[in-house]
Amino acid sequence: MKPKRISSINKPDKCPRCGAPVYKILYGEPAMSEEDYFKTYGEHVIFGGCIISGDDPTWACSQCGQEFYQR
């Protein structure tokens, strides 16, 4: 079953499906690992890859993968 599309103005703190933290998605070629990014910037992220369609999610759940789109 495909998760429903969720749009939000601001990043949700917790996923409504599983309650896990929601992280920002970074797109493009990573210059460092997710762990190094956290150590440098103090923020957890998920790498979203290099292909950008123009209708890509802004945030994702760290556990279940539910995606969130910014309005």
What is the pLDDT at residue 1? 58
Phi, psi at residue 14, to the nearest 5°?
Answer: -130, 150
In a domain, 16, yes or no: yes
How many folded domains does the chain comprise? 1
Tell me whether residue 1 is in a domain: no
Domain contains 27: yes
Q: Is residue 38 part of a domain?
A: yes
Chain segment 20-46, per-residue pLDDT in tens: 999 999 999 888 888 999 999 989 999
Mean pLDDT over each residue of the chain, to the nearest integer = 92
**Residue 33 belongs to domain spanning:** 6-70
Distances from the Cα of 49 to the Cαs of 17, 18, 68, in angstroms? Answer: 24, 24, 16
